[in-house]
Structure 1
């Protein structure tokens, strides 16, 4: 299921893993992604299982319709918040979710101000700066960059994320840290390095990372390693 991480002052985060659900191959088994091609009933059962094991009600969760954008919305209630790749809330009862299978989850909190944020930073979202937009939206809701703590979830690493040279250069246009070389000596994108740099430029210094590469970690879903596949979720919430 994954470990619950304390972000301080009653804020918790967690990343789910593949095991412990009811989905059949190739989505086996704790697939939480409704858009993955899996059976809807299995995904909903998996979501219920994940929420119960992590200690919150499924009816508290805010889900994004992730579209690889830099758009960030403010959630006023649980359920589907709309098409976006970042979500912020000031409600203490809501749980924010970010889905991934290689993209980088971003979980953020200013516990003192009571502002939470979550983002899905894929290659296009990284190029467009969704993480920085998440920080700006949190500040607009009362957060302070000096107090924001960020956990970056698992994502495909730069050594594994091979892309055409044109795509690498496009991704690195605004964030040079995105450009890298894969272990095969080919052009790559390092989303972890890029998003870390974006957050620091936005004024956030308290940034930690899960560090696992999805393509190299069999306990996690990875689209690059084997599509079609399921999705894991990264959650942030307040007790």
Structure 2
């Protein structure tokens, strides 16, 4: 499980529009130094993993972008729709929020996930990037739209923004109860299309990636969904739901990151 270096998955859409100015990657759990249930590239400071190993894993992610650990910006993710703007004065703060944007070269924006949807955003023309953590609460609350608006405030143009949803739990792995569905239908009855009946009475299978992708497209940006389900692939991805079903005491987190490269 411990490769020498992490090798992230890339989005063809983001890569095609990067103009070699912006680098990104959806990192798997491969390529880290953690052990046991955290084996591999666990970057979760909130996990019970050895902090020294977590920091080394995060350093490896930063190094992929040619930056030291201190230039990796993450937030204390609280399943909100809140976005923070990072600039050259960044000094390691981790405010309570679920997305980050910047126009400053050399800062690596990272969001953590273990089933929730990591979204990376890029406007290569205007040099603005973003990263968002979209669980069901964030997706419902508008984290994707808020990230786009924060990028526009930094000089991005909506028509120039591309976004990619990385590895996240897919509909086939995401069973929910009736009260969960009610939350969504109370917000918008059209959200019914993202739920199909499961084999369990009064339960449904929820398509979070489809909801997230639709909201991105509706917001007027180009969007791609990698279509990778974190739940069944224990070799490559941590999964909160898989850990819960297995009765394990804790779980690791993978990271998705993006940076404007320094000249």
* TM-score, normalization by structure 2: 0.84
Using the TM superposition, name which of 120-129 and 50-59 deviates more: 50-59
- Once the two structures are superposed, what CA deviation does each residue of 1:204-237 show, in whole Å capped at 9, x if it has no partner? 1x21122100002221111111242100000011
Report what 1:181 is aligned to.
196
1:108 equivalent in alignment to 2:108 = no
Bigger CA radius of gyration: 2
Greater helix share, 1 or 2? 2
Contact 1:4 1:12 in 2 (8 A): no
Greater strand share, 1 or 2? 1
Please give the alpha-carbon distance, in whole angstroms, between the structure 1 residues aligned to 2:91 and 2:24: 17
Residue pairs, 1:196-211, within 5 angstroms: 196-204=213-221, 206-211=222-227
Please give the alpha-carbon distance, in whole angstroms, between the structure 1 residues aligned to 2:170 and 2:194: 12
Deviation at 1:56, TM superposition (A): 3.3
1:12 equivalent in alignment to 2:29 = no
Unpaired runs of 5+ residues, structure 2, are 1-5, 245-249
Unpaired runs of 5+ residues, structure 1, are none
Residue pairs, 1:151-230, within 5 angstroms: 151-172=164-185, 173-174=187-188, 176=191, 179-181=194-196, 184=199, 186-204=203-221, 206-218=222-234, 219-227=236-244, 228-230=250-252
Deviation at 1:156, TM superposition (A): 0.1
Report what 2:135 is aligned to.
122
Contact 1:20 1:30 in 2 (8 A): yes
CA, structure 1 residues 178+41, in 2 after alignment: closer, same or farther (shift >3 Å)? farther
* TM-score, normalization by structure 1: 0.92
- Secondary structure of the residue aligned to 1:12 is strand
Report what 1:132 is aligned to.
145
User: How many matched pairs?
Assistant: 238
- Secondary structure of the residue aligned to 1:233 is strand
Please give the alpha-carbon distance, in whole angstroms, between the structure 2 residues aligned to 1:127 and 1:178: 14
